[in-house]
Chains A and B, each alone.
Chain A
Amino acid sequence: RKEVEQDPGPFNVPEGATVAFNCTYSNSASQSFFWYRQDCRKEPKLLMSVYSSGNEDGRFTAQLNRASQYISLLIRDSKLSDSATYLCVVKEDTDKLIFGTGTRLQVFP
């Protein structure tokens, strides 16, 4: 079983749609969780951290379910500029990050 698993997609959605990505992780002792965004042929960039109580940043909402070891990202009112690969990332001990393979999103006009 992979340590961090994501649906690779692609998710093809029209502008204005709401789309949700899911991620599961295997290490129940993990404490920090993130969503990173990676554009084609670019470096990963932090989109948002994921907190136990859930958190929102504009059109983006992240949720964490520790009991199910499940993380989600919701994007509302999708924009063309949201097209990218979204990486689910879990931080383990010694500050090491475990990356999922990413979910590709394509927003079309």
Chain B
Amino acid sequence: NAGVTQTPKFRVLKTGQSMTLLCAQDMNHEYMYWYRQDPGMGLRLIHYSVGEGTTAKGEVPDGYNVSRLKKQNFLLGLESAAPSQTSVYFCASSSAMGSYSNQPQHFGDGTRLSIL
């Protein structure tokens, strides 16, 4: 059972470089999310998608772009990496809609990104 798969797992970039993080889920979930996790802070939502072809901004979207061309994939792009984007990035997916559902989000195992 693959669930949510993130690639790559680790990456070191130089300031100004660009890269794309890939998230793939095989659970046919409508909703997908990208979070970042930094020491002493909770997971913060970067962008999310409520379905194929749709994206929306989360809490900390600046410096990131996303695309959801296929239902199973959600890409997170850094156009010009900055040291402040050094973090652990988690992708998640869920099937639920609205705040009344108790369906959980399923997380990938994270991408550790360092920007020098």
Distance in Å: Cβ of A48 to nearest Cβ of chain B: 10
Give a binary string over B77-116; 1 marks a CB under 8 Å from any A CB, 0 the rest.
0000000000000100010111111101101111000000
- Complex contact B43–A99 (CB within 8 A): yes
Contact A100 B94 (CB under 8 A): no
Q: Inside 8 A of B94's CB, which chain A residues have their CB?
A: 95
Fill in one digit per residue for A38-70: 1 if any B CB lies within 8 Å of its CB, else 0: 000111111001010000000000000000000
A97 interfacial by beta-carbon distance below 8 Å: yes
Interface range, A side: 20 to 34
Q: Report how far A50 CA is from B42 CA in the complex, Å.
A: 19
A101 CB within 8 Å of chain B: yes
List A contacts of B22 (CB < 8 A).
Answer: none
Bound complex: CA A87 to CA B104 (Å): 13
A95/B98 contact (C-beta < 8 A), A44-B90, A101-B41 known: yes
| A104 CB to nearest chain B CB (Å) | 11
Contact at B101–A32, with CB atoms within 8 Å? yes
Alpha-carbon gap, A78 to B97, bound state (A):
35
Main secondary structure of the interface of B (DSSP, over half): loop
Question: Does A18 touch B at the CB level, under 8 Å?
Answer: no
Q: Is the CB of B107 within 8 A of A44?
A: yes
Cα of A99 to Cα of B45 in the assembled complex, Å: 9
The answer on a CB contact under 8 Å between B48 and A43 is no
A44 engages B50 (CB within 8 Å): no
* Residue contact B45 to A96, C-beta cutoff 8 Å: yes
Q: Which of B94, B96, B102, B107 has the most CB of A within 10 A?
A: B102
> Is the CB–CB distance between A49 and B104 below 8 Å?
yes
Q: How far is the CA of A97 from the CA of B96 in the complex (A)?
A: 12
CB-nearest residue of chain A to B4: A43
The answer on a CB contact under 8 Å between B110 and A43 is: yes
**Interface contact A44-B43, CB-CB below 8 Å:** yes
Residues of A within 8 Å of B56, CB to CB, are 94
5 extra A-B contacts, CB within 8 A, seeds A44-B107, A100-B42? A4-B42, A44-B43, A91-B99, A92-B99, A95-B98
